[in-house]
Structure 1
Amino acid sequence: MPAPKKVVLAYSGGLDTSIILKWLQTEYGCEVVTFTADLGQGEELEPARAKAEMMGASAIYVEDVREEFVRDFVFPMFRANAVYEGLYLLGTSIARPLISKRLVEIAHEVGADAVAHGATGKGNDQVRFELAAYALDPNIKVIAPWREWDLTSRTKLLEFAEANQIPVAKDKRGEAPFSVDANLLHTSSEGKVLEDPAVDAPDYVYQRTVAPEDAPNEPEYIEVGFERGDAVSVNGEALSPAELLTKLNELGGKHGCGRLDLVEGRFVGMKSRGIYETPGGTLLLEAHRAIESITLDRGAMHLKDQLMPQYAELIYNGFWFSPERTMLQAAIDASQTHVTGTVRLKLYKGHARTVGRWSDYSLYSEAHVTFEDDAGAYDQKDAAGFIQLNALRLKLLAARDKRIKG
């Protein structure tokens, strides 16, 4: 395959992607266009623009995609109550298809014949970036420098940086204690001091949440409003998707909610240990399940719960743009027609617990479940036939087994 003439690079402005920018220029002699996404990672992005300009990027894109991220990626995922391996709220996984989508779109806008990313050859992100890119443009070339170059150590990276006049922050000259990926949904910390899963993570790893034991001694009650499965308000205040998640992050972080120390099974085969903080997402998941509990029929809810692990695995493995994810999403979205109402949560010392929920579409009938006189709403005698019909096959099995045993 011929060398690319113009490449769109997913660019953070950090050391690794700055080295990649220069490496692409020197290795292929190509133009490099940079794309930096504001996903709510909490960092000032203008320095990335200035650095890309200084290093000779032919075009520079710095875009605020927070609303699109939450509206079109996070919210659809939370309609499914998606959790990977029972615990992980998929904060890193769900950001990758959006980044890839913009990389491909920009490549088409500027006439680039390739896109590039800074994911390593050991992780899941390389898979996510590239599966998304190929799903959107089967002819796009994807360059993954970590799988190609010989810069296999931090020392070699620094030597390359110095040889090519790439600015290196002083604290980058030593070994970083761990790597961080952040967006509006979560913060992920991995590697270095976190690599031994038997050792408790140091307190300084946590960036978005206070330690539960240091959280306020008084609980805080909040109300989350939903319309058709998506959260639309907090404490009665209507908010945009990104504003709402920002608010929930603030509330959850204040009370130490959403911390997770997880050893997960990567798609590429190995296990890895990560420290995740998802304060707003933890509150959102709790509230969404609560409003579903009174608005979703039992059959629909149980089917959703059966589909959820497969849906979550598709996102984790990078198949957001696959036909099977789209099919599952259609079923999930259809279930949310009447998932509208309000949930009251109690936040206290690392926990977010539902203490109330109500909806104009509620299926809950106090007349049917009351321990008092139900005024004929439910005839308890009907249960006898129901039980006998459901017991019939069990009786036949028991009778056969008794006969065989003699």
Structure 2
Amino acid sequence: MPLAVAIAERELLPPGMPVKRLTRDWIVDGVAFLLAILVGVLTYADAFPDGPGQETLAVIDLVVGALTCIALWWRRRWPVQIAIVLGVLSSAIAFSAGAAAVALFTVAVHRPARVVLPVIALNVVSASVYTAVHPDDDMALIWQLLLVAVIVAAIVGWGTAVRGRRHLILSLRDRARRAENEQQLQVSQARDHERARIAREMHDVLAHRISLLSMHAGALEFRPDAPPEEVARAAGVIRSSAHQALEDLREVIGVLRGSDEAGASEATSTTRPQPTLDDVPALLEESRAAGMRIREQLAIEQPDALPTSVGRNAYRVVQEGLTNARKHAPGAVVDVVVSGAPAVGVTIEIRNPTPVGVLDGASRPAVAGEIPGSGTGIIGLGERTALAGGRLDHGPTADGGFRLRAWLPWPR
């Protein structure tokens, strides 16, 4: 820890609490003691020019003054108390003038203004009393008092400047610490956001793959007498879908397990390119191969100008809609309508004759072979479209079916 910060942090300690002296403290205390002795000797020589051997008062002044200089050793622990005692003694003890000045400086450094002001007043009064008792024949009393006020103001101003600098150091240290914590928080939030985005992306993919697996496995279960060619074809689709699902699962686990930013970035960089709206025909054919009956209507103007993010979100909406249709309306005809143009936006609508209350939060009894759903697919689509600036509507239709409709913005 830098020395300036360590010194400044002691300002936060409770008054009277002992602190460990640093090497700098020993040096400063030694200089302060020598300075107090020097000023005390000069003041003492001016008050008692004949020395301590001439009168008892001079001896008392010398002894008490020496003790006040020694008392400076505890000025860091009890600055106010020592400053008050030395301030009172300085009104009569000439040798204590230097020690009183050092004690006043210590109070200005370590205590706030509301504590310093009474100590200043006490020192001004004490110095005025001393000046009146020991006047200078070469200077008028008013100028002596003015000089005392200037000296006291200079000592307090110096101490206040030191205190202000220490608090500035603490403020800058705290500001830097808060900035570092905020940066770490932003990095953590960005990492969590990226992981949530990837998890949401993988949910759409895995739900699609697993629903295909379930459909083909169900076909094999209910048609054990199917021709070997159909069994082999279904088994091949199951194997391929399982392989793709495992690959997708491996990727998302690799990303979510990343404990640092570098690991997360490395895992993200290995993710395969995400599909866009151009891959919707392949998605429809894959679903048809799984036994779904789909009627599509794709009408995108200027498809080359479609932003990649919009195309990717549109693809996920179609994928989730088909997955839900396989889960909740097996064997039904699914209508997929995708249209869009620049400045108009992209509209995706998927309709199927699903019984009312399947996707809108209600429950119904499960049937044999039905694919279980987590109920978070529509929620994830809502979050996806909202983040893209679009909107999502879903619910039962008047004829007892179900409609999923999303709109995504397409800037011109």
Q: Per the shorter chain, which TM-score range?
A: under 0.3
More helix by share: 2
More strand by share: 1
**More relative contact order, 1 or 2 (CA 8 Å, 6+ apart):** 1
Larger Rg over CA atoms: 2
| TM-score of the superposed pair, with normalisation by structure 1 | 0.20
